[in-house]
Amino acid sequence: MNILVIGLGVMGFNHVRNLASFEEVKRLDVVEPSEEGRRKVEALGKTGTVFCHKSLEEALATGRFDAAIVAVPTHLHYAIASALVAKGIPLLIEKPITEKVEDGKKLIAEAKAKGVALMVGHIERFNPAVQALKKNLQMIGTPFYASVHRFGVPAQRDVGSSFIDQAVHDIDVLTFLVGKYPQEVSAIEAKIVDPKNNDLCSAIFEFNGFKATVEANRVTPIRSRELIILGTEGAAKLDYIAQDLTIMRSDRVTSKYSTFDEVVMRIGRGSEIKPYFVKDEPLKLELKHFLDCVKNRKTPLTTGEDGLHALAAAVAGTNAAKSGKKEQIAV
């Protein structure tokens, strides 16, 4: 397969690093105007397989591409993705799908009109721990509430607000787990360290019978990303970074203990289960899935509509923080 990658920032380089190692990728073209970016590609040692271009027009003039990855700053997503869709090139676009909800709707309509595959890079869906939780979610009964936090260190570049940069991941994961899009949100956000963007947010999302609190910030000295979801028959705790999952069932929990030590050790722990799964790099799994969808004309796990709903929820969160009122999430 001949693959085109546009943008060589942090995510773009990781896309290139993975794609360059795939046997099915015979040629990899990268659009990156900076000399520094091109040197990073050359350092991969894939001369003869990976080729750099200063512009999208220059890259497109070299020949036909089987698929493309868009990993440029968000404000450029729509223009570049729309140009690729017009060429009939299947597309994986990094999250968020676009900067504005209206642009996301236009891009989805254009892709459908051209019959072009469109996938949005909500990478956490491909985290093996998230996949394992989805597979075993019935063990906790009917989910009714979740609490998620995504804390990180201050960013060294402009990555936008915490809603768009961070919370959007967990909004999408919750949608994936419960099979519903969020409908309403109440929220707060603040500018703590970042001089330009709100780098802290906290929100309550309502999903028609399911609710979740989502907290995100880039102001802590540590990276921590965890999710706890409650169901009618138990609970589950997930660590995104460690790829660790524990399911705690309510059945077989006794209130009779022989000693005080046993009370301390067991009470509140339920019946713990550690599902087996193989840890792996989520981005690699996401890219493998995308290429498989392109080759076999499958519907991707993260569709344009999924990306649009996640963006709309994040935007509504920002609006709710500004208004101080509950906001409807409209697409």
Residue 260 pLDDT grade (very low, low, confident, very high; cuts 50, 70, 90): low
Tens digit of pLDDT for each residue in 73-131?
A: 999 999 999 999 999 999 999 999 999 999 999 999 999 999 999 999 999 999 999 99
Closest CA to 249 of 130, 137, 145, 127: 137
Q: Which residues fall within 8 angstroms of residue 218, CB to CB, at 6 or more apart?
A: 152, 153, 154, 155, 159, 162, 165, 166, 193, 194, 199, 200
Per-residue pLDDT at 310: 98
Structure tokens of 243? 């790829």
Q: Is the peptide bond preceding residue 96 cis, with omega within 30 degrees of 0?
A: yes
Domain ranges of the chain: 2-121, 125-281+311-328
Q: What would the mean pLDDT of 268-278 be, rounded to a whole number? A: 84
CA distances in angstroms from 126 to 140, 223, 323, listed in the order given: 21, 19, 34
Neighbours of 266 (CB within 10 A): 13
What homologous superfamily is domain 2-121 in, according to CATH? Answer: NAD(P)-binding Rossmann-like Domain (3.40.50.720)
Residue 161 pLDDT grade (very low, low, confident, very high; cuts 50, 70, 90): very high
Q: Which residue has the tokens 């009714």?
A: 144
Per-residue pLDDT at 264: 46
- Sheet holding 67-70: strands in order across? 50-53, 27-31, 2-6, 67-70, 91-94, 118-121
Backbone torsions φ then ψ of 66, nearest 5 degrees: -80, -25
Residue 269 pLDDT grade (very low, low, confident, very high; cuts 50, 70, 90): low
Name the class of domain 125-281+311-328. alpha beta
The residue ranges of DSSP E strands in 50-117, in sequence order, are 50-53, 67-70, 91-94
Tens digit of pLDDT for each residue in 11-62?
A: 999 999 999 999 999 999 999 988 888 788 877 766 678 889 999 999 999 9
Chain centroid to CA 262: 41
Contact of 124 with 169, CB cutoff 8 Å: yes
**Percent of the chain topping pLDDT 90:** 84
User: Is residue 255 pLDDT above 60, yes or no?
Assistant: no
Structure tokens of 272? 């713990």
Amino acid at 273: I
Q: What would the mean pLDDT of 298-323 be, rounded to a whole number? A: 98
Structure tokens of 227? 């999710």
User: Is residue 252 pLDDT above 60, yes or no?
Assistant: no
**Could you give the CA distance from residue 37 to residue 33 in angstroms, rounded to a whole number?**
8
Ranked by mean pLDDT, the top range of 64-78, 152-166, 269-283 is 64-78
Q: What would the mean pLDDT of 319-326 be, rounded to a whole number? A: 97
Closest CA to 166 of 229, 120, 118, 124: 124
User: Is residue 204 pLDDT above 50, yes or no?
Assistant: yes
User: Is residue 265 pLDDT above 60, yes or no?
Assistant: no
User: By three-state DSSP, how is residue 48 classified?
Assistant: coil
Per-residue pLDDT at 253: 52
Amino acid at 147: S
Average confidence score pLDDT of the chain: 93
Q: Which residue has the tokens 């109440």?
A: 186
